[in-house]
Amino acid sequence: MKTIKLLTGYFLLATLMVSCYTEVIIEDDFIEESAFNTDQVLQSYDLWYVDINATRGNGEVPFLQRAFTVSFNRGVLYANNNIVGIGKTGGGLGIDVGTYGTLRGTVDIDHDIDGSWFLEVYAVNNNTIELYDASSDTSYYLKGYQTNRFDYDMVFYDNINYFIQEYDAWEKIYTSESGALNDFDNENYLQFLPSFFRSSIDAPNTSISNLQWDFEGNYEVYNVQGDNSLKTLTLDYDFFGDDYFELYVINDSTIELYHPDSGTTYEFRGRGYQEYLKSGKGVESKKRIKTSNPTMNVERKKAK
């Protein structure tokens, strides 16, 4: 059961105005003073990034579990439930997923799919709030950003496992002329599912529904010690050994795989974007969970 009710420290936030932001200092009990002050806190940042790994408790608030960011804007709740399109959809705020109202130190959310949720609001530090669900004794920690200062690259690399699963398939669109011949040259499609991958040697421009998956196996994404802008990927083929790649994000529809063993660079473009809207495809299966990629102590082989 949560016992600490007072806000600690000073909470530096921006009060929403019609044409500009005015910074104000919020004292310990500022959020508790009125519904208006609570709303000021929630609107003081354009985006609240949901740090899913910081979640405490065994319960779940479904729409927070699903979102990468949420925004509170004049009574409307927005969310970025996909990495694809983040920064562009809804002017960066995402999609309209419900409405909200504020009371003293609380927010009453009416989500279009998940219904009503009454959450307590606490200040953690100058740009972090806690949303606490008393019914399940679960806390979510959200870090505030303005859209023009939000590190979108960070979201892609910190949530790379979700990003590569947001397309039904990745089609190879480029193979570098440099590099030794290797078996992966023949594979034109990749598909990443939560627990395994599949690949296909079907010809380019094949309909996704007609793809024949020739190989499958386990895959693992790794963090790289001391290099936040690099991930590595291993494909462990059933019966055929494994491949190792450096994984780079080019944009929200294109990834690059560099194969150090052969010196070959490949680019893949996503096809069959799975948009997680208010309802429908993928809503239940796409909830985020706490993850911690293993770390490799390797050096980047591809020149920047």
What are 124-169's pLDDT values in tens digits?
A: 988 999 999 999 999 999 999 999 999 888 888 889 999 999 999 9
pLDDT value at 284 more than 70:
no
Output DSSP code: residue 238: T
C-alpha distances in Å from residue 185, one per residue of 55, 200, 217, 284: 42, 11, 18, 36
Name residues whose C-beta falls within 8 Å of residue 120's C-beta, 6 or more positions apart in sequence.
Answer: 2, 105, 106, 131, 132, 134
Output DSSP code: residue 252: T
Q: Which residues, in sequence order, are bridge partners of residue 96?
A: 78
| Contact status, residue 296 vs residue 223, Cβ threshold 8 Å | yes
What are 217-254's pLDDT values in tens digits?
A: 999 999 999 898 899 999 999 877 799 999 999 999 99
- Average per-residue pLDDT for the chain: 86
Quote the CA–CA distance of 129 and 140 in Å, as a whole number.
8
Q: What is the pLDDT of residue 6?
A: 34
Q: What is the pLDDT of residue 33?
A: 60
| Contact status, residue 273 vs residue 208, Cβ threshold 8 Å | no
Instruction: Give the domains, in start order, of the chain with CATH numbers.
Output: 38-150 (2.40.128), 156-296 (2.40.128)
pTM for this structure? Answer: 0.80
Rg of the chain on CA atoms, in Å: 22
Amino acid at 99: T
Q: What is the pLDDT of residue 23?
A: 37
Q: What is the pLDDT of residue 241?
A: 79
What are 95-108's pLDDT values in tens digits?
A: 999 999 999 999 99
The mean per-residue pLDDT over the stretch 87-100 comes to: 93
Q: Which residues, in sequence order, are bridge partners of residue 189?
A: 171, 200
Q: What is the pLDDT of residue 32?
A: 60
Closest CA relative to residue 111, chosen from 68, 67, 145: 67
